[in-house]
Chain A
Amino acid sequence: MKQMTLKTVDGGEMKISKIILGSAMLGFIWDKIGEEATFEYIDAYRRLGGDTIDTGRNYGGELDQISFGKCEGNKSSYMEYRRCQKELKITTKGGFPDLSMADHNIMTRFRITREALIGDFFTSYDRLHKGPIDVWMLHRDDPTKPVSYIMDIVNEIVQTGLVKVIGVSNWQLSRFKEANAYAREKGYAEFAVNEIMWSMAQIEPIARNDKTLAMMNPDMYKEYLADPTPTIAFSSQASALFTRLQNGSLTWDEVPEKVPVYNLPINKEIWERVKEYSKRTGYSASTIALSYLTSNPVDCAAIIGSANIAEVEDSLKDCDLVLPPEDIKYLYNLED
């Protein structure tokens, strides 16, 4: 299992596995197969070398009165039962926007304010019940706020001594660099990582509901190459697009209807190359798609969403594969 190195707030280093377990499926799984079976699923991920789970203050929520953030609560239960608070790392996030209760596709207001962020941070700390938070990220940016305002709040949070690594999610790289420049000026800890939407399959932005996400694109890629910044990729498997095309559970004709966000001619081209590369090397489409990210010259840890243990095993199989840069360019060259 490859490792990513993140800078901690006290000038040290933290290593996390380059394949991170996502929480999106975990909630469904928990409800479907129950607690013990879900624990076994997480066990399988860890047995295969994974050591980091990605969650968020706002994930998983049903029944606030009992959940206060059910997703973080589930992680906390797992760590309690398996006594692995030290071994398992959790990345979590705060400052998710307010959503309309009538239509949760509508964001009613940003929550990048001192009270919202401090509230989210301390609540996550309490919820995870594992001591200092390993990685805490701002879930979104609010471009109307100066980076100085935001970093001052983040610094307050760092000063609590209750967080090890700070980062952001869905920030533009220019804002990220601006914020860190300000942090350097003030002697604050800097953001160590940006969690963005990135997969080998390209995304049709119009088809995506949420306009506040940051997606890897050629311009951004060149910036990251020029100014190396660790990234964590969500939707890294593109809804398992290439996996499903390979195992036949999806045909290209069904893509416009079933996965419209990936309905681009370029993805058909990429798929042809994945097919060819897979045949040539014997590695599965899953392995190739993930290695494309975890071997990338832009430092990347990929979040996986797996519905069951078999999918976890499929995703983590051959996870040590390192694709040389020319093979990455062959599959899809973001520099073009």
Chain B
Amino acid sequence: MQYITIDTVDGKQLRLSKFIMGSSVHWDTPREEGYALFDRYRELGGNTFDTARAYGGLRDQLSFGSCERIMGDYMRERGCRDEMVLISKGGFPWLNEDFTFKRLRITREAILGDFFTSVDNLDGPIDVYLLHRDDPTKPVEFIMDILNEIVQSGWVRALGVSNWSLDRIKEANAYADKIGMPRLQLNEIQWGYAYLTHKMRDDETVAIMNPEMHREYEEAGFPTISFTSQDGGLWSYLYSGKETWETLHGKRKMYDHPINHRKFEKVKQYCDEHGCSPAALVTAYLACNKVICGPIIGCRNMEQLEDSMSGAELELDQATIDWLDDVDV
């Protein structure tokens, strides 16, 4: 297992396992089943759990964010809080009933409301607190001042963002240095081996890794955490024959593109030659990347968890990664 090291608000360091457990355990998963996934993840060397104020929610009256609730319950049940690194997020936008965007929630009250509710849900300090989105109409100073209030509360260990641009992060960190507050440590973005654009994905507010961004991150040395790391299971479904390009289901449909057809040829070739699973290959692609990346693993069952976590044992050298990237765009 590789690790990402970040700075805490009080000048220490925090080590996050690169393979990060996503909020896959839902309110309708039988508890012991869900807990077993978390247990196994930790046995396999993972120590970092990603959740958010906005995740999991059915029945606000019962859940106040059921994903955080479930993680909080798990930690209390196992008494393992000290062994875990918890990432949570606030400031997710307000959506309409049909999931269309209504308005951004990057305001002092929305973020403090989300933050303190998360602290209550998770029963204590949050290790890494991220802003779930940016509001580019707001100056970084306004936003960082809110995060500074959160730091002053004593309930957070490290700060970060999700779906921000690197330019805004640099601006924010320059301001942080100026006023003597802790810097943003990482950016949680969408990044998988697949070629993906905003047009294909139909959500303008997420940040999706692309070659130009990749160069900027390499230069800046700024850490990332990736969501949708396995492209919704695209490579596994194709490699196993469970789906074909014509029969891609749900969230995998959007990846049907000539570039990804070519990428799949590489996946097939590598996996055939080395006898490893596509899940291992594409997660290792991120974990071994010269841009620092901790892939979040989303899984529904033990089989998928084991498969994805096998990527932590796979070492890919730069030549292999370059070869994987060398696809005619």
Contacts and interface: CB of A to CB of B under 8 A. Distances in A.
Interface of A: 58-70, 73, 96, 98-101, 104, 111, 113-116, 118-126, 162
Interface stretch (B95-103, B193-201, B240-248, B276-284): B95-103
B112 to A, nearest CB: 5
A96 B96 CA distance: 25
For the complex of A and B, 8 pairs with smallest distance between CB atoms: A64-B57, A61-B60, A122-B113, A119-B116, A119-B117, A123-B113, A126-B110, A116-B120
Contact of A68 (B60, B61, B99, B108): B60
Q: Which of A73, A122, A124 has the most CB of B within 10 A?
A: A122
B105 interface: yes
A124 B108 CA distance: 13
B109 to A, nearest CB: 4
Given A60-B61, A119-B114, 5 more contacts: A59-B61, A61-B59, A61-B61, A115-B119, A122-B116
A125 B66 CA distance: 21
B59 A118 contact: no
6 contacts: A62-B60, A64-B58, A113-B120, A118-B113, A122-B109, A123-B109
A108 to B, nearest CB: 9
B61 A99 contact: yes
Contacts, number: 109
Nearest to A108: B73
A119 B120 contact: yes
A114 B119 CA distance: 10
B200 to A, nearest CB: 22
Q: Which of A62, A69, A73, A123 has the most CB of B within 10 A?
A: A123
Nearest to A99: B62
A66 B99 contact: yes
A104 B62 contact: yes
B65 interface: yes
B99 A121 contact: no
B69 interface: yes
B58 A63 contact: yes
Interface size class of B (residues with CB under 8 A): 35 or more
B60 A126 contact: no
Contacts of B107: 126
Nearest to B153: A115
A268 B50 CA distance: 57
B2 interface: no
A96 B62 CA distance: 10
Contacts of B97: 66
A162 B59 CA distance: 27
Given A58-B64, A60-B60, A126 B99 contact: no
B56 interface: yes
Contacts of A67: 57, 60
A301 B11 CA distance: 54
A64 B60 contact: yes
Nearest to B65: A64
A61 B117 contact: no
Contacts of B116: 114-116, 118-119, 122
Nearest to B110: A126
B63 A66 contact: no
A48 B18 CA distance: 61
B113 A70 contact: no
Contacts of A125: 109, 113
Given A123-B110, A126-B107, A104 B120 contact: no
B110 A115 contact: no
Interface string B38-63: 00000000000000001111111111
A67 B97 CA distance: 8
B63 A64 contact: yes
Contacts of B61: 58-61, 96, 99, 104
Given A99-B62, A101-B69, A116-B120, A64 B114 contact: no
Contact of A116 (B69, B112, B117): B117
Contacts of B120: 111, 113, 115-116, 119
Contacts of A69: 60
A111 to B, nearest CB: 6
B97 to A, nearest CB: 7
Nearest to A67: B60
Contacts of A115: 116-117, 119-120, 155
B235 interface: no
B58 A62 contact: yes
B75 to A, nearest CB: 14
Contacts of B96: 66
B314 to A, nearest CB: 34
B27 interface: yes
B59 A62 contact: yes
A122 B105 CA distance: 12
Nearest to B100: A66
A121 B119 contact: no
B174 to A, nearest CB: 28
Contact of B63 (A59, A101, A119): A101
A70 B108 CA distance: 21
Contacts of B118: 119
B113 A119 contact: yes
